[in-house]
Amino acid sequence: MRGHQAESLFKLLPPEVFSNSVAPRLLDALRTEVKTVVSPRSVEEVARLLKWASEKGVGVVPIGTGEHTYPRYLRGPCIVLTTSRLSDIQDYEPADLTITAGAGALIRDLSTEIAAHGQWLPFDPPDVLNRTLGGLVSSGLSGPLRTGYGPLRNHVLGATIVCGDGRVLRLGGKVVKNVAGFDILKPMVGSRGELAVIASVTVRLFPLPVEDRILVLEANDIAELVATSRAVATAPIMPASIVLDSTVNRARLLVRLHGAATSVDADQVSLEKHTGVSFEAKNIAESEHSFPQEGGRDVSEEFSLRVWVLPSRMEGLLDVLKQAPGVTLNADVYGGSVRVYLSGSVSDAESVLTGLRKDVEELGGTIRMLRMPAEVGGSAYRTNPSADERELAMGLKGVFDPHTVLWGME
Amino acid sequence: MTQPLPSNVIKALSEIVGSEHVITDPDRLLVYESDGLTAYRRSPRAVVLPSSTEELSAVIGLLHKNGIEVIPRGAGTGLSGGALTTLEGVIVGTARMNRILKIDAENRRAIAQPGVINARLTEATHPFGLYYAPDPSSQSTCTLGGNVAENSGGPHCLKYGVTARYVTGLTVVLAGGRIVRLGGLGRDPYITLDLVGLFVGSEGCFGIATEIEIGLLPITEGVRTLLGIFGSVESAGRAVTKIISSGLMPAAVEIVDKPTIQALEASVFAAGYPLEAGAALVIEFDGTEAGLDLDADRAEQCCLDEGAIEVQRATDPEHRMKLWRARKKAFGAMGRIAPDLLVQDATVPRTKLPEVLVGIDDIGNRYGLKIANVFHAGDGNLHPNILFDRQDQAQLKLVERASKEIMQLCVDAGGTITGEHGVGVDKREYMTLVHGPAELEAMAATKRVFDPDSLFNPGKVLPEVEIEGGIDTPEISAIHK
Which is nearest to B345 in space by CA: B332, B331, B355, B333?
Answer: B331
Residues in B closer than 8 angstroms to A50, CB to CB, are none
Q: In angstroms, what CA-CA distances link A265 with A35, A211, A214, A284, B247?
A: 57, 10, 11, 14, 19
Contact B438 A396 (CB under 8 A): no
Listed by number, the residues of chain B in 190-209 with a beta carbon closer than 8 Å to a beta carbon of chain A are 190-195, 197-198, 200-203, 205-206
CA dist A72 and A406 (Å) reads 11
Best A178, A226, A274 residue to mutate vs chain B (most B CBs within 10 Å): A178
Chosen domain end from B68, B93, B118: B93
Domain count, chain A: 3
Q: Is the CB of B421 inside 8 Å of chain A's CB atoms? A: yes
- B457 is a domain residue: no
Listed by number, the residues of chain A in 79-98 with a beta carbon closer than 8 Å to a beta carbon of chain B are 93-98
Mean pLDDT, chain B, whole residue set: 92
Contact B347 A385 (CB under 8 A): no
Q: Which helix (H) or strand (E) holds B103?
A: strand B100-104
- Shared domain for A51 and A129, answered yes or no, is yes
Q: How many CB pairs under 8 A join A and B?
A: 256
CA dist B43 and A386 (Å) reads 39
Lowest-pLDDT choice from A21-30, A155-164, B1-10: A21-30
Residue B423 pLDDT: 96
Residue B467 pLDDT: 43
DSSP label at A342? E
- Tens-place pLDDT, residues A344-380: 788 888 888 888 999 999 999 999 988 887 777 767 7
Residue B471 pLDDT exceeds 80: no
The domain spanning residue A54 has which CATH number? 3.30.465.10
Question: What domain range is A274 assigned to?
Answer: 211-288
Contact B422 A96 (CB under 8 A): no
Q: Is the CB of B360 inside 8 Å of chain A's CB atoms? A: no
Three-state DSSP state, B381: strand
The sign of the CA dihedral B159, A185, A194, A351 is positive
Q: Is the CB of A187 inside 8 Å of chain B's CB atoms? A: yes
The strand pairing partners of B376, in sequence order, are B254, B381
Q: For residue B425, how many other CB atoms are within 10 A of its CB?
A: 25
Of residues A332 and B391, more confidence is placed in A332
- Shared domain for A227 and A335, answered yes or no, is no
DSSP-derived pairing of the beta strands A78-82 and A89-93? unpaired
- Shared domain for A183 and A236, answered yes or no, is no
Residues in A closer than 8 angstroms to B162, CB to CB, are 154, 177
Residue A393, min C-alpha distance to chain B (Å): 6
The strand pairing partners of B341, in sequence order, are B387
User: At residue A41, what are phi and psi to the nearest 5 degrees?
Assistant: -105, -5
Q: Is the CB of A286 inside 8 Å of chain B's CB atoms? A: no
- Shared domain for A70 and A135, answered yes or no, is yes
The domain spanning residue B396 has which CATH number? 3.40.462.10
Q: Is the CB of A183 inside 8 Å of chain B's CB atoms? A: yes
- Shared domain for A231 and A204, answered yes or no, is no
Three-state DSSP state, A36: strand
Q: What is the pTM of this model?
A: 0.95
Contact A183 B201 (CB under 8 A): yes
User: Are the C-beta atoms of B344 and B416 separated by less than 8 Å?
Assistant: no
Q: In angstroms, what CA-CA distances link A210 with A128, A284, B249?
A: 21, 11, 11
Which is nearest to B410 in space by CA: B357, B331, B463, B479?
Answer: B357
Q: For residue A130, how many other CB atoms are within 10 A of its CB?
A: 15
Contact B449 A395 (CB under 8 A): yes
User: Are the C-beta atoms of B480 and B400 separated by less than 8 Å?
Assistant: yes
Q: In angstroms, what CA-CA distances link A235 with A114, A272, B122?
A: 33, 10, 18
The domain spanning residue A282 has which CATH number? 3.30.70
Mean pLDDT of B129-147: 96
Of B162, B185, B291, the CB nearest to A259: B291
Q: Is the CB of A191 inside 8 Å of chain B's CB atoms? A: yes
pLDDT band with cut points at 50, 70 and 90 for residue B371: very high
- A168 is a domain residue: yes
pLDDT band with cut points at 50, 70 and 90 for residue A194: very high
- Shared domain for A278 and A403, answered yes or no, is no
Question: What domain range is B60 assigned to?
Answer: 7-93
Residue B437 pLDDT exceeds 50: yes
- B367 is a domain residue: yes
Q: Is the CB of A383 inside 8 Å of chain B's CB atoms? A: yes
Q: Give the chain A residue nearest B414 (alpha carbons).
A: A174
Of A265, A366, A388, the CB nearest to B180: A388
DSSP string, B156-185: THHHH--HHHHEEEEEEE-GGG-EEEEE-T
The strand pairing partners of A257, in sequence order, are A213
Amino acid at B351: T
Residue A243, min C-alpha distance to chain B (Å): 16
